[in-house]
Chains A and B, each alone.
Chain A
Amino acid sequence: MPAPTLPSENPAATVASPSGYAIEFDNVSIAFDEKVVLDGISFQLPRGETKAIFGVAGSGKSTLLKLAIGLLRPDSGRIFVLGEEVTHMPEQELFELRRRVGIVFQESALFDSLKVYENVGFRLMEEGVSAEETERRVREVLRFVELEGTYDMRPSELSGGMRRRVAIARAIITKPEVLLYDSPTGGLDPVTSNTIIELIVKQRDVYKTSALLVTHRLQDAFTMATHHFDQATNQMVALPKGQHGEVPMSFLILRDAKVIFDGDAHQLTASRDDYIREYIS
């Protein structure tokens, strides 16, 4: 079945404008050898919003995140992050920009030769922050992900879920303006997945961080669209029925290297596209 083009569900920008968006992709394409992975991808991530990116395995979701942070360069098109074009930005300038962006890798990518506190405080130590201040902030952020007891442990001593939470702690310690999550709940049990989703919702609702969330689990994204973080009770709570989707949350679906849907939860559930209906059923 050919990938349907749904103009109303794919509001792709044709002109790049580095205005108020946290991230903007303008007609971005990339291929590895002969295989086209992303073909003319365009979308915008408004500031403060979390956009969940779906697609089957190998559809280019992780590639999209690596393009956003400048770890890969597109073959064509333009990418803006926090108003700055990263498409041809020299690596040295990218290092500066990346200080304002956090990323959680699919397999956590913790430095296995370093302890948890060195992993989490890596960016602070690189910036020359004092040892006392680094320790204070590392403990604070480990408390945020409820892993303060792992301070002196090595990544090899942690479970998969704990490693993922340490990776989140490492990504958020400098309070970045944008967060990129690459399958943060992949391969985890439902309870641990829920803990991680709660952390992401907390980051979205409490710190208003813009985020791209790559995931295979539609239920995670729907949980995020139907819940908000209640600071008074310090937990994620369900929104009243009429307010579902009233949080800064959107969905983007990739298929055959193209965007076939970009919209909010209401638009997604109302979609009449067969592939999308099958995907969300």
Chain B
Amino acid sequence: MAFELELTSPIEVAKDFALAVQDYAVLSAESLANFFRRPLYMDDMLYQADLIGVGSLPIVILTGLSVGALLALNVASTLQQFGSITLIGRLVSRGMVTELGPLITGLMVAGRNSSGMASELGSMVVTEQIDAMRALGTDPTKKLVTPRVGATVFMLFFLTIIADLLGLIGGYGVAHLLFRVDTQQYWNSAWQTLVFRDVFTGLIKPVLFGFIIATVGCYYGMATQGGTQGVGRSTTQAVVASSVLILIVDFFVTKLIFAIFGYG
């Protein structure tokens, strides 16, 4: 069986990429602008919030606890070498609140919901349901994208807080049970180390990540081409693109916040 390799010129690839970025930017801007236009589709937003928020709760609980416990386990061995095991609460707290809580929750929800949005909207595209919606006089961006963006941003914010808390509890479990760290000492150190910058970092990230997850998922869904195979491709691309974007944005946001508030 002979395979023909089709070569695409770099100019074409660059052009396609620029067009995709432009389409993504337009969709993102429209999804935001729709929050100020009627109707707001609150029912759809609540339905999506339930799907994204409540639906993702078990996986967020599990990963939050695990990551907190693992973080504690890993830093404990280093701290023990310096006789500073009492600092374990500080490290777990700062690591979870500023970095791991938002990042892990974002990646988990991206894997679960960005793919879900891409496949759902992609299926609607290939079965002409999106065209039907437009033909019936309804803006699909307003009806389908904006509620998903609103619901994801809102729910990811609270899911991250839950993940942070469970991470601290997981860390406490390891610190107390395996390394005999005093309960009060752990929680005091965990609490006192947090400054405004850490909390701000930890709470601004889920807002940005939620926006990325929903807009990337919806963009790939709405841009689906080529039948059911295209739906599969969109789903994979949505997860990869949203995860990569989350990691890139995470780095730059962290850097920016450190630049504004200082490294102390």
- Which residues of A are in contact with B by a Cβ distance under 8 Å? 66, 69, 71, 91-92, 94-96, 98-99, 101, 103, 105-107, 109-112, 122-123, 126, 128, 170
Contact = CB atoms under 8 A, between A and B. Distances in A.
Interface stretch (B52-60, B105-113, B130-138): B130-138
Nearest to A69: B135
B132 A111 contact: yes
B50 interface: no
B136 A98 contact: yes
Nearest to B141: A91
Nearest to B37: A92
B132 A105 contact: yes
Contact of A109 (B128, B137, B139): B128
B127 interface: yes
B137 A123 contact: yes
Nearest to B126: A107
Contacts of A71: 131, 134-135
A106 B139 CA distance: 21
Contacts of A110: 129, 132
A126 B138 contact: yes
Interface string B128-165: 11011111111100000000000000000000000000
B121 to A, nearest CB: 12
Given A95-B139, A98-B137, 9 more contacts: A95-B138, A98-B134, A103-B132, A105-B128, A105-B132, A105-B135, A122-B136, A126-B39, A126-B136
Interface residues of B, number: 14
A66 B136 contact: no
Contacts of B131: 66, 71, 105, 109
A163 to B, nearest CB: 11
A63 B96 CA distance: 54
B132 A91 contact: no
B162 to A, nearest CB: 28
B55 to A, nearest CB: 16
A107 B138 contact: no
Residue of B129, B135, B138, B139 most packed against chain A (CB within 10 A) = B135
Q: Which 8 A-B pairs have the closest CB atoms?
A: A109-B132, A109-B128, A98-B137, A99-B137, A95-B137, A103-B135, A105-B128, A123-B136
Nearest to A97: B137
Nearest to A170: B136
Contacts of A122: 136, 138
Contacts of A101: 135
A120 to B, nearest CB: 11
Interface in B25-57: 39
B26 to A, nearest CB: 11
B18 to A, nearest CB: 18
Given A107-B127, A109-B127, A126 B132 contact: no
Nearest to B38: A128
A112 B138 CA distance: 17
B128 A107 contact: yes
Nearest to B128: A109
Contacts of B139: 91-92, 95
B148 to A, nearest CB: 14
A31 B190 CA distance: 64
A261 B232 CA distance: 42
Contacts of A123: 136-138
Contacts of B137: 95-96, 98-99, 123, 126
A112 B134 CA distance: 16
Interface centre among B128, B132, B134 (most CB of A within 10 A): B132
A71 B136 CA distance: 11
Contacts of A99: 137
A86 to B, nearest CB: 12
A98 B136 CA distance: 6
A170 B137 CA distance: 12
